[in-house]
Structure 1
């Protein structure tokens, strides 16, 4: 990458870029946020740009569309919501390209360092109000960035390895839970409750789960989900909901054992659904911390919870995995 000042004098920046990247690799996540994302000077913006280039999220080189010349990175001090204080400029025809050209960030009207701080805040479960206050951006921008992060979670779960629970010698508990009770829309019309079907592999601590919103809680709806997401050789524990009666006949299911909650919460042989009840509590507490969730947004919040179970058990891991997956979903041209 070549840097140039406004007079056109070129500066080789490879060594400085490597120093920034090497420092960031040794830093904690909070130190990255402080050292890179909160410095609003031109030099500070360059730290963010260089860090994003190292993650494969911004181009290291750019070609001019007019004359096919390699472009230089130049400092630009124009005002605006997308002002990153640096841009690509052709040394021959002086045409300009955004530093974000072809990237996930193209068209987003917010400085890159502030965008990255919002992503950092999402990864560390920082509240939206705290995050937007830290970097002085509008609430709408903060909401959008947090939703973009959840969209990456959803994309990863769909396009990553199939979610399978259990296996030989393992137990999976299943249950359904209502997440949005019957309410009213703006015109006062009754809205149906939102039911979520879930299953947890109790061989993990905490239990590893899978959730899916369902329109019906009948066998035709639930049995295919069980079949798709449970490994052969698994023992399934459930309550005595009638839709579960056919589980034992599903291919690959070793046994189906039940507990009658009208009589007991754990059988003499140890069968129970306490673990998935704890799982529901964990999920609902995570939603309660956000002061409620719109029903149309619930699928993405459930995906975020499942994503964090698999990819974001630590905040550092969540942050790094998110960027790897952004790069996979939005490769540079």
Structure 2
């Protein structure tokens, strides 16, 4: 029913319009806008499927026939996590130093090799066995993997709604709160441990953007935050750094930005930026620095490779 990847990504804020027949084609397409999860979608079939779901968009995944099998966890959801390195593709036995075999029915990796016991000719079987979920955020949870995917998809949406999770996924309030906190902790850990990007001859575009958000997502208490980031033009690896320290909002001076650049961009990189004064010393820091003056043009007419267009798409995604 859905392309080659049958995991559904549905926007609960558009779904009711689709069911009522008043959504346009663009809004229908937004129901499957995440390229990570869905490759192709038959819009007519999506509309028909939604009509069967009693306004509950999270019921759609179990209604996709290809996802229904005898496993407790739909294998498509498990394989999605595996493709994105949440679950391992291979495990090595710490005793035998050999790759383990995978038991799909129990979601376990086991060794099972026979080896000699001491100096005797007796052979014993290696008993090493580990859960497929060990060390991942699926460890010690009884929630189906497909529900976790749908929860994360909703969590990263612009408009978070706690009641949607409770109503649609049938989770308790405590479970929803715990998983939202957990996702926030994972995001914070990623921000604090991002690997450097770039390298000799690799083009990295850098830029800053300005965010205004309501504190705790409500009221009129606004906090203004600058976000600084960079992205490889070809490899698309990137880093993001909020210019805040505790409750203090940092400025965009060279004293603030240059140490961040040196931390997250490897020496020898070709750095494209606008004409902000804080970047002027990058040539002295081991980078090839190319500048585009955004007050005049966004792409250098003499050398079209000098631009920061990739960072604009990065801000759009953020």
TM-score by length of 1: 0.47
TM-score by length of 2: 0.49
Choose between structure 1 and 2 for higher RCO, CA contacts under 8 A separated by at least 6 residues.
1
